[in-house]
Amino acid sequence: MIHRLQKLSSHPLEIVWHENKATYISVRKIGGRLFLRLHRLFHDAPTPVLQAIIQFALKRDARSRAIIRQMAHLHFSRAPSEPRALASQGKAYDLQEIFNRINEPLKLEGISIGWSTKSPRGKFRSMTFGCFDGSCRQIRINPLLDSPQVPLYFIEFIVYHEALHAVCPPRMDASGRAFIHTREFREKERQFPQFEAAKKWEKGSLKFFKQGIYGRS
């Protein structure tokens, strides 16, 4: 693989492979050498994608970025993985029971749900309430929400929001820009019966969690 890339580059290459989905390509140029950190999805990439990688490394042009993003989008949307073993029954709420109610009109199949095992770190300046992993079709909810002081309708809204990612998958335009929350997604999100109340509670939630029930003060 490195030999294929090297043939396309006029600069000596150093390549490190990784599996970080957040930054699937990063580049440094030092003393005439290119240092690339590439996700393994590019290991067997076709020549046009390899050409785009070199072009992007040298010029950071939009066309090459678009080709790289499209390759990554195709990889992550088609490569299935096994869901994590997560508990759905919490101290206050049973996510499986909540999802079953939410899913009645959606009729999604093959979706698992559970409380995330990751604990918050850092200075707690923001929160991720949940996520949907499309590669294994799993919804993971922040365990900080597992409290009777968190309204049930808010947890239902978060579960509904994450389930919508399975109904309205991300789209990518011709420039390679990915749209996670499409117009269709936003329209369906507003159909949640207590949408306004949930969004209002969300606005004050960060202060609530920092000051309140989990010893964060």
Q: Taking the CA of residue 85 as centre, how many other CA atoms within 13 Å lie in the half-sphere pointing to its CB?
A: 0
Residues 107 and 41 in one domain: no
Chain CA centroid to CA 6, Å: 32
Judgement on whether residues 60 and 120 belong to the same structural domain of the protein: no
Residue 13 forms beta bridges with which residues? 34
| 27/116 same-domain check | no
Residue 194 falls within a domain, yes or no? yes
Question: Residues with Cβ < 8 Å from 2, sequence gap 6 or more?
Answer: 13, 15
| Interval 164-177: pLDDT, tens | 999 998 776 555 55
In a domain, 164, yes or no: yes
With a cut of 90, say whether residue 105 has pLDDT above it. yes
pLDDT tens-digit readout, 178-196: 677 889 999 999 999 999 9
Are residues 117 and 165 part of one domain?
yes
d(CA 175, CA 33): 28
The answer to whether residue 85 is domain-embedded is no
Domains in the chain: how many in total? Answer: 2
Which secondary structure element, helix H or strand E, spans residue 216, and what is its range? none
Residues 99 and 206 in one domain: yes
Residue 185 one-letter amino acid:
F
**pLDDT at position 192, please?**
97
Residues 45 and 124 both lie in one domain: no
The answer to whether residues 145 and 201 belong to one domain is yes
One-letter amino acid for residue 166 of the chain: A
Q: Are residues 72 and 100 in the same domain?
A: no
Tokens of 180: 């996670």
Q: What is the pLDDT of residues 110-147, one digit of tens each?
A: 999 999 886 555 444 557 898 888 778 899 999 989 99
Interior/surface letters 108-142, b for 16+ CB within 10 angstroms, e for the rest: eeebbbbbbeeeeeeeeeeeebbebbbeebbbbbb
Q: How far apart are CA 171 and CA 126, in angstroms?
A: 26
Q: What is the mean pLDDT of residues 56-84?
A: 79
Give the domain range for residue 203.
95-211
Do residues 32 and 126 both lie within one domain?
A: no
The answer, as to whether pTM is greater than 0.85, is no
> Do 69 and 124 have their domain in common?
no
Q: Are strands 138-141 and 171-172 parallel, antiparallel or unpaired?
A: unpaired
157 and 51 within one domain: no
- Domain membership of residue 202 (yes or no) is yes
